[in-house]
Amino acid sequence: MVRWQPDASLRLQQAALSLYAERGFDATTVAEIAERAGLTKRTFFRYFADKREVLFLGSSELRELFVNATAAAPPSATPIEAALAAGLGAAGAMFAERQEFARQRQAIIAANPELQERELIKLSSMAEAIAAALRGRGVADQAAILAAQTAMTIFQVAFARWVDQPDPTALPRLISESLEELQALTAPAPARITG
C-alpha cells in the first residue's frame, strides 16, 4: 500500500463518498475507505478523527470565511446582509467548484440521523461565530444572535435548492432569492380599506 501521497486526503474523501453511497454510512468501515483509496488505516487517521469527519472536512475554514466576510462587510450592510456576505461572495465561488461533492454529501447526511445532528451542530457553531462577528460590528447581542441564526437558515434553504440545480454558480443567486422571500414574508401587510 502507498504510505503517503500529496492527494491522500482527497483520495480518502472520494473513496468514503463512493462507499457511503454504495453501502451506506453505517455499513462502511475506516479500513474499507483506506483500502479503496489505496492507503492504510493509519494514513486515514492522520487526516480524519473518524469516518464522519470525511463529510465535515473544511468546516472550520468555512466558518472562518463567514466570520471574516461578516466583519469586512460594508458599514451600510444590514446585520443579515453582513452575515450572508460570504455566501454571496467567496463561499459561493468555493462551492461552485464542489457542487458534485456537495450533492453527494447532502444525500449521505439526509439518509443518516447521526450525520444530520452533526450538520446541525456545525451550523449552530457557525451561527455563534457569525453572531460574535456581528457584535464586533456594533450589533446588539440579541439582534446579532437573531441575524446570525436567520442568515444560517437562509443559507440552508438556498443550499438545499442549490444542490439540485444544474448551474454550479447559482448559490449566491439562491441566497439572494431566499433573503428576498424572507423579507416578503416579514413585510407588514398592506392596510385594508374598509367601507
168/164 Cα distance (integer angstroms)? 9
Of residues 88 and 71, more confidently modeled:
71
Name the band, by pLDDT with cuts 50, 70 and 90, for residue 1: very low
Q: How far apart are CA 162 and CA 169, in angstroms?
A: 9
Classify 138 in phi/psi space as left (phi over 0), alpha (psi -120 to 50) or beta.
left
Query: Is residue 191 exposed (0-12), middle (13-18) or buried (19+ Cβ within 10 Å)?
Result: exposed
Question: What is the average pLDDT across 135-160?
Answer: 96
Q: Is the pLDDT of residue 6 over 70?
A: no
Cβ density class 52-75: b for 16+ within 10 Å, e for less: eebbbbebeebbebbbebbeebee
Q: Indicate the pLDDT class of residue 189, thresholds 50, 70 and 90.
A: confident
Q: Is the Cβ–Cβ distance between 82 and 73 less than 8 Å?
A: yes
Q: What is the pLDDT of residue 94?
A: 85
From the list 179, 181, 188, the residue with the least C-alpha distance to 154 is 179
- Among 83-92, 112-121, 124-133, which is the least confidently predicted range? 83-92
Residue keyed to cell 433573503: 179
Domain range list for the chain: 8-53, 58-184
pLDDT at site 93: 82
Predicted confidence at residue 2, as pLDDT, reads 45
CB 127 within 8 Å of CB 39: no
Look at 57 and 129; give whichever has higher pLDDT.
129
CB 37 within 8 A of CB 5: no
> Over the stretch 86-115, which tens digit does the pLDDT of each residue have?
888 888 888 888 899 999 999 999 999 999
Using the Cα atoms of residue 177, residue 75, residue 87 and residue 89 in order, give the sign of their dihedral: positive
CATH of 8-53, one of 3.30.420.40, 3.40.50.970, 1.10.10.60, 2.30.110.10: 1.10.10.60
**Residue 30's closest CA among 21, 22, 58, 43?**
43
Round to whole Å and give the CA distance between 98 and 66.
17
Mean pLDDT (the chain, rounded): 91
Does CATH number 1.10.357.10 belong to domain 58-184? yes
pLDDT value, residue 181: 95
